[in-house]
Chains A and B, each alone.
Chain A
Amino acid sequence: MIINHPLLGPRDASEFVVKGAASLIDRPDWQAENATDAFHDYMYLRDNPAGEHAELWYHEQGDRSWLVVTRNTLTHEVTKVEMARDVARARGRSK
């Protein structure tokens, strides 16, 4: 598989480590009333779609960027690659 790194261009998937669903960016608020339940869902309940899936990939043998790779799990077609930091900011994780 080839991942088109936003900064470095096309790189072989063997340079990366995959972590899982990009929903791991959405870490719950520890002070929320239902924090334990929210963390439970965050940790253990993931979608496993047959189709488009946003995933976290880490360029460990490269520049150490975490990327959000949108990949079709049926065809392995990669439709979007973003810097995870940008995604995190867009999802309101700025302090």
Chain B
Amino acid sequence: MSQTYRINSGLTDDSQKFNFTFNGKQMQGHAGDTLASALLANGQHLVGRSFKYHRPRGIFSSGSEEPNALVQLRSGAAQEPNTRATVAELFDGLTATSQNHRGSLENDLLAVNDLFSNFLSAGFYYKTFMWPAAFWEKIYEPIIRSAAGLGSLSKLEDPDSYDHGFLHCDVLIIGAGPAGLSAALAAGRAGLRVILADEDFRPGGRLNAETHEVDGMAAADWASAAVNELAAMDNVNLMTRTTVYGAFDHGVYGALERKTDHLLSSDGKPRQVLWRIYSKRAILCAGSTERSIAFANNDRPGVMLAGAVRAYANRWGVAAGKRVTVLTNNDDGWNTARDLQAAGIDLAAVIDTRAETTQGLTGVRTIAGQCVADTAGRKLIKSVTLTGGETVETDCLAIAGGWSPNVHLTCHQRGRPTWNDGIAGFVPGGDLPVGQHVAGAANGTMTLAAALADGRAVANAVAKELGATASRKAAPKAVDEAADITAFWQVSSKKRAWIDLQNDVTTKDVKQSNAEGFRSVEHLKRYTTLGMATDQGKTSNVLGLAVMADASGKSIPETGTTIFRPPYSPVPIGALAGRARGKDFRPTRLTPSHKYAQENGAEFVETGMWMRAQWFTKPGETHWRQSVDREVLATRNSVGICDVTTLGKIDVQGRDAAEFLNKIYANAFAKLPVGKVRYGIMLREDGICYDDGTTARLAENHFVMTTTTANAVVVFRDMEFARQCLYPDMDVHLISVTDGWAQFAVAGQNARKLLQKIVDPSTDISNEGFPFMACGEVTVCGGTPARLFRISFSGELAYEVAVPARYGDSMIRALMNAGEEFDATPYGTEALGVMRIEKGHAAGNELNGQTTAQNLGMGRMVSKKKDSIGSTLSERAAMNTDDGLRLVGFKPVDPSVTLSAGSHFFTKGATPNMDTDQGWMTSVAYSPMLGHSIGLGFLNSGSDRMGEQLLAYDALRGNDCEVEVVSAHFFDPEGKRLRD
């Protein structure tokens, strides 16, 4: 079989022959073909199976509105399901397969569904799979999942890359058909910065599919000339293969450009680009979409839209059938008949539903005042039976049901279209998105000369609005074709008459839905699935509304439309994601000691965007606990070093800096002496504790604050809010210096001895010279500027030393070298966590956004003598009850037992439920110092219940155990070590 349906080359390039396969069958097409035109050229009419009934289906349209011809392209990881063959550009080596059948396309086992169609009508899922409930997950859902759906995913990672880009223009023209080209010429000549975007690979729209003349040239030639003129203008950006899929706020449009879909391989280039286009004005020239007429068995392969049959003949030189029947309710259907006759294609008859028509064609039988009532043929239509009873043999039925303006993008800002009886279609309403104009068929201007004039006029008006001088060049000349229409929607029948081919929605479903009370079109859509899925009902919505209007006795405008939302046509998830995928989903932040940590066996953990060393595996260690226990013991027994750069650091300066911090922190900061550090807690305005950290006063008007790693951004944002919105005249300035300073904790009995080798001798860091909670600007390693803080999270004698980030790598190495004689050990976040639990310090598990300072045992820190964020609401009675939650420690009664975070506490013997629940375990760790598992947790009146034994109930993991309530300060409760 070799292109037996090809009648001429049309606008394709027959010097370039492309080989492709469909279901493994070798076929040939031309450059300039779509997969659909090439399939038709090869006589492949059956291309898929319908969604629900698995009915044989063929190509229905010639554009992005295609409901039927969904195929799978390519193979392996590049496999792409649900691609519309009508917009898939043919290339040499293309492989396509049909989808949605079990067994072969020709003999689909699920075609049995068609026999049970009476049970598969609207809402059958809701009605059929109601009971028993237990069946849903195990039986119904797997069956439905395997039977439904169209193509299948490769389940491999998408090998292609996708980009995002931004464009700006004076005017965005959407669609390069007659109105769009005319508008672009006018706007371009006026000197405006123009973007002309068209979804097709060949600009021209219907001009490429018609035999009309423009300015004395064949329409397609005029389109080529217009494109050449536009391409020569520096101020015009012509974007083909680009679908403008959404109209967003303030003149922003979304567009998808297909860069390599028409090539065998992307060859490392981005496959598609998702553009965000910022426009001052937009002119929507999206044209119109033809629709069908509902009658029995109107879904067979060979039943097509008349405009598409014409397009295949004119643009692609392909006969959709050997003996075509045209069914029309309007004058445009006759254009198909005329063009097919001119192309030498045999016409069985033209059936005009209008009793009176001015149209006629010599040599072709006209049947007026009738419609098709039924069709025959399984894998291709064989004949049609007319309402008058006559049967006509035919292998292609071209239906001209009227054209619906493509108003979609006029409605993306909730604009509602209005009904126009003259064209029997919806036209844009008055409430367009800001800056948007509409021209041509999209605006209801359905004829050629008028559309060309409309495009120019609208573009000239836009030029004027934008202060440019409009070109005086006249509109391209053409003749307006006859376009009368008398709406005709359906022939009632006891058999199924399709409205939405993609979702197998028939007139019966719409009537039933109305009878069952789904009166709103939005309900109709959800109940019947009319207008859903990849085509979003482009060919079916208006017909559906007409049938619904008929069933409810209302008019079409009274029935209204569903809301159009972006995208106009499908946008791949890959394109939406762009480069933000996998590890590039968000930036990765590395600590200054990352390289050192890598070299020393660190296991990393993601904390927000940061990669932090979790522990350092030494040779011979086979379990993370070995590494963590070793790091804790080494730190507590000598000295350990931890990169704490990730904590947020905020530099606060200004005459009012101290007063400002007094507002931000719940405890007092105004009187903190210079050279001292203080621990502070921050509340939200509702009184809940949300962050903690230390703030050092480096000078009278200079503080440096630390926040938790997790809240660094939010605290900074809130402080800017307070500074600008609450205290606008305070003299205070903030800057985030998190990335500016590399900071290391040096902790353990030998911390001072180690740092004495690092900190230049000009600074006295003896216990007297630099006591607990001291801070200062110092120099290290012979003159490098640094900051030193004597603070301790581990409970050991500890310092944190900060150097400009660029010295971070050198600093960790210098510290480790200096610490060699003390067996200094790098430690990670796990050891850090163990030591903070041993000391009873709160962290993220405790500061969980539900707990107050009182819950945390820090109630007295909230100063009542001053105003600070959250102070007033923190005093609410319900948040200050004596029997409220308190943070306490827990140890297992049997020391060999491992505690579980997330367990809930109950009195022994009580039935565990919400009423008897007394609190929960927040953090647990194995304490190498104590030799058993320890935990922190919140317990009702916890601080008054020391020594009490409780059940720690762990229903999730079944890991219940008995625990004893103890102080949260497991290790060195007096805090002697850190003051030493």
Contacts and interface: CB of A to CB of B under 8 A. Distances in A.
A60 to B, nearest CB: 7
A22 to B, nearest CB: 9
Interface stretch (B105-113, B144-152, B719-727): B719-727
Q: How large is the interface on B (under 10, 10 to 19, 20 to 34, 35 or more residues)?
A: 20 to 34
A36 B685 CA distance: 11
Contact of B413 (A13, A43, A75): A75
Interface string B729-767: 110000000000000000000000000000000000000
B727 A93 contact: yes
B872 A58 contact: no
A94 B656 CA distance: 13
B281 to A, nearest CB: 14
Interface string B636-668: 000000000000000000000000000000000
A32 to B, nearest CB: 10
A56 B725 contact: yes
B873 interface: yes
Contacts of A88: 724-726, 728
A92 to B, nearest CB: 10
16 contacts: A28-B872, A30-B867, A30-B871, A36-B873, A39-B873, A42-B685, A58-B721, A64-B720, A66-B720, A76-B249, A76-B250, A76-B413, A83-B724, A84-B725, A88-B724, A89-B728
Contacts of A87: 725
Interface of A: 1-2, 13, 17, 19, 24-25, 27-28, 30-31, 35-36, 39-40, 42-43, 56, 58, 60, 64-66, 75-78, 83-85, 87-89, 93-95
A24 B544 CA distance: 49
A93 B720 CA distance: 15
B872 A17 contact: no
Contacts of A66: 720-721, 724-725
Interface of B: 248-252, 278, 413, 434, 685-686, 713, 717, 720-721, 724-730, 867, 871-873, 875-876
A58 B720 contact: yes
A94 B727 CA distance: 7
Contacts of A42: 685
Contacts of B873: 36, 39-40, 43
Contacts of B729: 89, 93-95
Nearest to A31: B867
Given A2-B249, A35-B872, A40-B873, A24 B728 contact: no
Nearest to B250: A2
A84 B724 contact: yes
Contact of A43 (B251, B686, B727): B686
Contacts of A28: 872
Nearest to B248: A1
Contact of B725 (A1, A25, A60, A75): A25
- Most central of B278, B434, B728 by chain A CB within 10 Å: B728
Contacts of B876: 36
Given A88-B725, A88-B728, A1 B875 contact: no
Nearest to B434: A77
B465 to A, nearest CB: 18
B668 to A, nearest CB: 15
B475 to A, nearest CB: 33
A27 B726 contact: yes
Nearest to A90: B728
A73 to B, nearest CB: 12
A89 to B, nearest CB: 5
Nearest to B166: A12
B410 to A, nearest CB: 15
Nearest first, the 7 A-B pairs at minimum CB distance are A30-B867, A88-B728, A1-B249, A2-B250, A85-B728, A76-B249, A94-B729
Contacts of A25: 725-726
Nearest to B686: A43
A1 B724 CA distance: 24
Contacts of B250: 1-2, 76, 78
Nearest to B726: A27
Contact of A95 (B434, B721, B727): B727
Contacts of B871: 30
Highest count of chain B CB atoms <10 Å: which of A39, A40, A83, A93: A39
Contacts of A30: 867, 871-872
B262 to A, nearest CB: 31
Nearest to A3: B250
Nearest to B869: A27
A32 B137 CA distance: 59
Given A40-B873, A60-B717, A2 B278 contact: yes
Contacts of B728: 85, 88-89, 93-94
Contacts of B724: 65-66, 83-85, 88
Q: Which of B248, B413, B713, B724 has the most CB of A within 10 A?
A: B724
A85 B720 CA distance: 10
B278 A36 contact: no
B164 to A, nearest CB: 11
**Residue among A56, A64, A83 with most chain B CB within 10 A:** A64
A95 to B, nearest CB: 5
Contacts of B726: 25, 27, 88, 93
Contacts of B717: 17, 58, 60
Contacts of A77: 434
A19 to B, nearest CB: 7
B414 to A, nearest CB: 8
Contacts of A1: 248-250, 252
A95 B732 CA distance: 13
Contacts of B278: 2
A43 B876 CA distance: 13
Given A1-B248, A1-B250, A83-B724, 20 more contacts: A1-B252, A2-B250, A19-B721, A24-B721, A27-B685, A30-B871, A30-B872, A31-B867, A35-B872, A60-B713, A60-B717, A64-B720, A65-B724, A66-B721, A84-B724, A88-B726, A93-B726, A93-B728, A94-B729, A95-B729
